[in-house]
A and B are shown apart, each in its own frame.
Chain A
Amino acid sequence: MGSRASSLLREEDIEEIKKETGFSHSQITRLYSRFHSLDKGENGALSREDFQRIPELAINPLGDRIINAFFPEGEDQVNFRGFMRTLAHFRPVEDNEKNKDLTSGEPLNSRTNKLHFAFQLYDLDRDDKISRDELLQVLRMMVGVNISDEQLGSIADRTIQEADTNGDMCISFSEFTKVLEKVDVEQKMSIRFLH
C-alpha cells in the first residue's frame, strides 16, 4: 500500500514538500500513505470526519482543537500539503538547521512556530490573545470533571496573572513566549518521525 500511495505522489510535489517542511523523502512517502489511509473519501483531501475517525483522537482531550489546527481558517478540507505543513511543526530541530535559520526564512519547526501552534489551540477567536474564558475552556478539557469551576477559575486566574505583563488580563503571544522561555520547547513539542 505504501508503494501505491507514493505512486500517486508526484516527484515534483515531494520535492516541494521537502523544501517547505524539511521532511525527508521517505518520511514524506510514509506520511502520504498514512494520509491516504485516513482519506476515506479518496478525494485527496481530509475532512474533519476523517480525523475524527481516529480512535485515539476521540479520547484526547484536546483532540478537537488539534484537528481544527489542521484546517486553514474557514476551510473544512486539508490536502496533503497542508497536512504536511502542520505536521512539520513537530519535526525535531536538527543541528544543521539551527545555523541555516538565518539565511532561509523561519522553518516550520522553529521554536516560535511550535509555540504558535500551541498558542492557537488556546486562542479560539484568533485575536492573538488568550482570554480567561479561552484558557478556562482548555483547562476544562484537560482536567476533566474532577475539579470545580471555582478551582479551575483560580488556576486560570493565577496563570494569567503570572503571564500577563501588560495588565490586560489576557495572554498575548509574546507573553506566552516569555512565560515559556525556560522550557525546552524544541524538545517538548517534537516527535520522532520515522526516518
Chain B
Amino acid sequence: MLNFFVLLVAHVYFFLIQLKAYGHPGIALARSAEEPAAPSTEDGESSHQHGGGGYRIVQWEWSYVQTPYIIASWLLVASVAKILFHFSQRFTTAVPESCMLILLGLVLGAVVLIASKKQPYQLDPGLFFLFLLPTIVGDAGYFMPARLFFDNLGAILLYAVVGTLWNAFCTGFCLYGVKMAGVIVNAGLMDFLLFGALISAVDPVAVLAVFEEVHVNETLFIIVFGESLVNDAVTVVLYKVYISFVEVGPGNVHTADYFKGIASFLIVSIGGTLVGLIFAVILAFVTRFTKKVRIIEPLFVFLLVYLAYLTAELFSLSAILSMTFCGIGCKKYVEANISQKSRTTVKYTMKTLASIAETIIFIFLGISAVDKSKWAWDTGLVVSTLIFILVFRAMGVVGQTWFLNWFRLVPLDKIDQVVMSYGGLRGAVAFALVVLLDKEQVKAKDYFVATTIVVVFFTVMFQGLTIKPLVKWLKVPRSTNRKPTINEEIHERAFDHILTAVEDIAGLNGYHHWRDKWEQFDKNYLSKLLLRKSVYHKSELWEAYQKINIRDAISVIDQGGNVLTSARLSLPSMASRTSFPEVTNVTNYLRENGSGVCLDLQVIDTVPGAKIEEELETHHVLAGNLYKPRRRYQSHYSRHFMTVGEKERQDREVFQRNMHNRLESFKSTRYKRHKKDRSQKKAIAQNYTNDKPRRNVSWQDKAVVPVAPEEDKHDPSEPDKDDDVGITFVARKAPETPKERPKSAALDVCQSPVAAPPSPTCGEKNLPWKSGVGSLPPCVSVEATKIIPIDLQQAWNQSISSLESLASPPAPPEPQHPRVSALSRLGGPLRTPAKGKSSGGGGAGSGSNTGSPSSGQFKFPTGKEEEEEGALSQQQQEMQPLMSSLRPPPPPPPPPAAQSAGKRRNPCVYLRSLVTVPPSGAEPQSRRPTQL
C-alpha cells in the first residue's frame, strides 16, 4: 500500500516535470541565478502563446503561474508524503521520517532521471541557506528551552568549538595521510582539510529530525542539538578560511593568515551572536507597542527573526548563531507581550514551516543523490571518511566529556557518551556546502560530493534507524515530556533561591550566583525596557499559574465530549482532585480584581455541566423564539384552553418537575464539588463565548452552598432550592460589583461576570417547570446523582426536547429578548405582594410550592409575572429555613462546598435583600425560567 502511494506521488512528480518542460527547467524552488535557460524558454513560450491570433477562450498560462505553481506542488507532494508515512503505525515507530523522505527522494529522483534523462533538481545551496535552513533554525531557536540551554552552555560550547575543530582537523589530516598511502583520490592537503571541515559538523536538521523521534532525556538532547547549532560558526569560518587558502594556494599561506582565521572565528561567532541579540531586543521592543494591531504580531516575530539571519549572512557572520540567539533572547519578552492568539499562531506557523522545510530538505537530498553526473565514486575515500568520522567523533566526545565531568554537577556517564557519539549526524548543511565548492579550485569536488552523500545517508539512515533501538537497549533515560505542575514551578523557584543563597554563603561565585545576577539585571533594566507596563507588573509565577490553568482547561476540553465523566478524568497536574479544599475566597478575588485569564482547574471541571446547561438553554431559546407567537396567542386564551388540557398539563408538569429535580440535584452536587469556578468564569468567558452556564455554576456555589447543609437537615428535597437561592443570591450580588456592566443591557448574552449572575438563573430557571422545582422531593439522592450523570442527563434532554417539540404551551417563549424587560416592568407591581408573602409565609413552604406556581402560570394572561411572583415566593420559602435558623452550616462535607463562603458573609442577609429588592436587570432573567 505504501508502495502504491509512493508510486502515485512519483507520478505526480513526473507530471510536474513534464509540465515543467514547457517552462524553464529547474525553476522550481531554484531561485539562484544559476538558471541560464530561463529567459529564453520563457520568451519562446510567450511568443507561442500570443502568436495564435484572435481571442482564445481558454488560455494556457503556464509560464505565468509556473514558479509558484511548482513550489506549491512541491510542498503538496512533501506534505502528502508525510501523511502517507504516518499511515502505517508500525513503520513510523521503527523508521525515522527522515529516512523515509530520503528514500522517497531517491525514488522520485530515479523516476525523473529515467523519464527525462537528466536531473533537473538539486538541493540548491542558495535555496537551502536562504529559505529552508532559516525556517528550521528559527523554529529551533525560538522554541529552544532557554534555561536548559544555558544550564548546559559550557558543555555545548566545548563540544561545538573544540569538538568540531578536533573532528575537522583529524579527519582532514588523516584523509591526507590515507591519500599519501596512495589508496584514495589525489588531492591537496588543503582540499582534505576543507572537506574535513564541512563533513565534520554535526547537522542541526538531521539531529532534530532523528532526536525528536527518539526522545532521549532533555540534557542529552540539548547538548547534541545545541552543539549542532553553535558549531555553525566554526564550520563557516573553517570553510571560508580553507576556501581562501585553496584559492591562493597552499604555498602562499602565511602565518598571519592563521591568526586571521582565529580572529575571523571570534568575529563570526561573537558577531553573529550579537546581531541575533540586537534583533532580539528590537523584536521585543517592537512587540511592546502592538497592542492595537495584534493581527501583525506574528509577522513581526517571523520577519525580525528572519532578518537576524539575513543580516548575519549579509556580514558573513554566523547566521545560525544569530538566528538561534535571536530566538532564545526574544522569546521571553515576546511571549509576554503578544496575545495568546499570536502566540499560538507563531508556534504553529513556525512548526509548520520548519516541518515542511525539513521534508523538502530530505526529499531533495534523496533526489540529489540520484544524478550520477554530479559525483564520482571512490570507495577508499568513502570508507575511510566514514571510519574517521565515527572514530574521531567518539574519541572527541570521550575526551571532552572526561574534561567536562570535572566541572559538571551531573557528570555525563558512559551511556550518554555513547549516544552523543552515535548521535553526531551529518546532514544537509554538509551537502549544501560541498555542492557550493568550486570545481575549478577543488578538483576532487565530485568525489567529495559522492562521499558527502554517502556520509549523510549513512548517518541519517543507518544511525537514525539504529539509534532508537540503541537508546532502548542502553536504557538511556527518556524525556518525559511532562509539563511542570504548579508545585514544581514554585518549589523549583525556591530551590533556585536556596542554591543562590548557599553559593553566596559558601563564597562560591558559581553558576547560580551569576544566574541570579543576570535575573536581577533583567528584572531591573531589560524587562523594564522590553515588556509592556501591564506585563511587567505581572508576576512570572502568576503567569506560570495561569498557563497551567489554561493548559488544564484545554486538555480537559480536548478530552472532549463526555464531559459528564469528568469525575473520572484525571489531569496530569492535578494529583488529587477528589479532595477539594473548602471554598476559598480566591475566586471572588479573581473576579473582582479583573485579572485577565485565570482559569482554575475546578472551573474547568464544570465545563461539562456547562455544556449541557448550554444545550438546554439553547434549546429553550430556540423553542421560545420559534413558538413565541403561538405561545403568546395561546396565553391570551389560556383560560379557555386550560380547562381542556389541564389534566394533560398536569401530567407533563409532574414529569417535568421530576426531571428537573433530578437535573438540579445532579447539577448542584456536581458543582459543589468544584467550587472555584467563578474565577475561571472570566477566563473562560474570554476564551469561549459559551460561559454562561459556568457562571451560573459559580454563583450557585457561592450562594447555594451555605444554604445547602441547612436544607438537607430540614428537607431532603432541598438541593433544588439551594440552586434557586443561589441564583437569587447571584442576582443580588450583581450590584456589589457594578463596574462590570449594566445588568439590564445584557440578558443572556452578557459576558461579564457580573452580568452573568442573571444568566445562571436563566440557565436553570429557564425551564418552564422551574417554578415547581422545590416542591418535589428529589428523586435522586445527592450521592446517587454523582453516579448517574450521563444517562440521566441524556434522558433528561430527550424528555425535555420531546416535551417541547409537542409545541406545548408550557415551553415558554424564552426570555432572551426585549420582552423580558417589559415583563420585568409589568411584574413590578406584582412583586411587592410577593415580598410580603415571602416574608410572612415561610411555613407554607413545600406544600404551596407544587400548586401555586403552576396554577398561576396558566390562569392569567399575565402568566409570566405571576410565575415570577410564584418563583419569588418560592425562593423566599426556601430561604425561610435559612433565615429562621442562622446557625452556620456544619463545616466539612463536600456537597456544601460553599460553606466557607457562607461563613464569611452571612448568606441570609444577602438572600433577603435579594428577594426584597431584586435588581431590575437581573430579575427578568431569573424569572424567565418560570414563565409558563
In the complex, whether A104 has a CB less than 8 A from a CB of chain B is no
Contact A51 B409 (CB under 8 A): no
Interface 1/0s, chain A 166-190, versus B by CB < 8 A?
1101000000101110110101111
Chain A binder among B301-309, B463-471, B539-547, B921-929: B539-547
Partner of A178, one of B499, B541, B575: B575
Contact B581 A169 (CB under 8 A): yes
The number of chain A residues touching the other chain, given as a range, is: 35 or more
Complex Cα distance, B413 from A188, in Å, reads: 18
Q: By the criterion of a CB under 8 Å from any partner CB, how many residues of chain B are at the interface?
A: 70
In the complex, whether A40 has a CB less than 8 A from a CB of chain B is no
Complex Cα distance, B593 from A148, in Å, reads: 9
Complex Cα distance, B502 from A67, in Å, reads: 9
Interface 1/0s, chain A 18-41, versus B by CB < 8 A?
000000000000010010011000
In the complex, whether B495 has a CB less than 8 A from a CB of chain A is yes
Which residues of B in the span 62-89 have a Cβ within 8 Å of any Cβ on A?
A: none
Partner of A191, one of B491, B502, B579, B580: B502
Query: A61-B497, A159-B486, A189-B499 known; A34 and B575 CB under 8 Å?
Result: no
In the complex, whether B686 has a CB less than 8 A from a CB of chain A is no
Contact B579 A167 (CB under 8 A): yes
In the complex, whether B878 has a CB less than 8 A from a CB of chain A is no
Closest B residue by C-beta to A63: B501
Contact B407 A192 (CB under 8 A): yes
Partner of B542, one of A122, A147, A165, A180: A147
Contact B486 A188 (CB under 8 A): no
Complex Cα distance, B576 from A166, in Å, reads: 9
Decide if the interface of chain B is mainly helix, strand, loop or mixed. helix
Interface 1/0s, chain B 482-508, versus A by CB < 8 A?
100111101111110111111111111
In the complex, whether A154 has a CB less than 8 A from a CB of chain B is yes
Contact A165 B579 (CB under 8 A): yes
In the complex, whether B516 has a CB less than 8 A from a CB of chain A is yes
Complex Cα distance, B539 from A147, in Å, reads: 6
Closest A residue by C-beta to B537: A146
Query: A151-B595, A164-B576 known; A60 and B488 CB under 8 Å?
Result: no
In the complex, whether B679 has a CB less than 8 A from a CB of chain A is yes
CB neighbours of B539 from chain A (8 A): 143-144, 146-147, 151
Chain A proximity of B639: nearest CB distance (Å)? 54
Contact B586 A154 (CB under 8 A): yes
Partner of B579, one of A139, A153, A161: A161
Decide if the interface of chain A is mainly helix, strand, loop or mixed. helix
Contact A164 B508 (CB under 8 A): no
Closest B residue by C-beta to A178: B575
Closest B residue by C-beta to A54: B504
Closest B residue by C-beta to A144: B539
In the complex, whether B512 has a CB less than 8 A from a CB of chain A is yes
In the complex, whether B754 has a CB less than 8 A from a CB of chain A is no
Contact B593 A56 (CB under 8 A): no
Complex Cα distance, B413 from A179, in Å, reads: 28
Contact B495 A164 (CB under 8 A): no
CB neighbours of A76 from chain B (8 A): none
Interface 1/0s, chain A 129-153, versus B by CB < 8 A?
0000000001100111011111101
Chain A proximity of B820: nearest CB distance (Å)? 34
Closest B residue by C-beta to A167: B579
Closest A residue by C-beta to B578: A167
Complex Cα distance, B501 from A117, in Å, reads: 13
CB neighbours of A57 from chain B (8 A): 501, 504-505
Complex Cα distance, B497 from A121, in Å, reads: 11
Contact B486 A92 (CB under 8 A): no
Chain B proximity of A22: nearest CB distance (Å)? 15
In the complex, whether B573 has a CB less than 8 A from a CB of chain A is yes
In the complex, whether A15 has a CB less than 8 A from a CB of chain B is no
Complex Cα distance, B508 from A95, in Å, reads: 23
20 example contacts (A-B, Cβ-Cβ < 8 A) are as follows A37-B507, A60-B501, A142-B493, A142-B541, A150-B595, A153-B585, A154-B587, A154-B589, A155-B545, A157-B581, A162-B575, A169-B582, A176-B491, A179-B487, A182-B482, A187-B409, A188-B492, A188-B499, A192-B407, A192-B409
**Given A87-B502, A158-B486: 14 more A-B contacts, CB < 8 Å:** A56-B501, A62-B494, A63-B501, A66-B502, A90-B499, A122-B494, A154-B676, A155-B542, A158-B549, A164-B581, A180-B491, A189-B498, A191-B409, A194-B508
> Which residues in A have some Cβ–Cβ distance to B below 8 Å?
31, 34, 37-38, 51, 54, 56-57, 59-63, 66, 70, 87, 90, 92, 95, 117-118, 121-122, 138-139, 142-144, 146-151, 153-155, 157-167, 169, 176, 178-180, 182-183, 185, 187-195
Instruction: Return the 10 tightest CB-CB contacts between A and B, nearest first.
Output: A150-B589, A154-B586, A34-B507, A147-B539, A167-B579, A56-B504, A62-B497, A66-B501, A143-B539, A179-B487
